[in-house]
Amino acid sequence: MTEKEKIILRHVELAKEYTRLSNSDHSLSPEVWENISKRMEKIQQEIEELRAIEHTWEEYHEQTQKEKSKLDMISQDELADLLHVHRNNIAMLREVGIIKAIKLGKCYMFTQEEIKRFQRDYRGFDVSNREKAIEAYEVIHGHRN
């Protein structure tokens, strides 16, 4: 069982105990009710601590995903496959300046962040050939390439 599963299980156990205590017989003595109240407060505190741990894990997971997506790069061929176009079309977009690449040796690599920027900025534009790509570039950047 993972740590996360253990914490979730503990969270469930505490919730069940809290429910059981809150449904206790009201004819119990004041001393017993005081003990029950103290335990219920401790349960609430422990649940809050567990929630804080879970929240920290979520933040860590989100940060890890952001860092991973920044580091993940794909090649020109992989990008062409992803966008269902020929690799020459990706090369043309790169040459026009529509999508920026990092050259590593003989390969051009594209970050996930750059691909998302391209998709966001050029949504609705026709960039299927050099002439249309240059027109789109000029509209987006307000000048000639």
Size (the chain), residues: 145
Residue type (1 letter), 135: E
Per-residue model confidence as pLDDT tens digits over 73-124: 999 999 999 999 999 999 999 999 999 999 999 999 999 899 999 999 999 9
Per-residue model confidence as pLDDT tens digits over 13-51: 989 998 998 888 878 888 888 998 999 999 999 989 888
Give the pLDDT score at 28.
Answer: 82
Round to whole Å and give the CA distance between 79 and 111: 10
**Which stretches of the chain are DSSP H helices?**
3-22, 30-71, 76-83, 87-96, 112-121, 130-141
Give the pLDDT score at 117.
Answer: 94
Give the pLDDT score at 114.
Answer: 94
Give the pLDDT score at 19.
Answer: 92
- The pTM for the full model equals 0.52
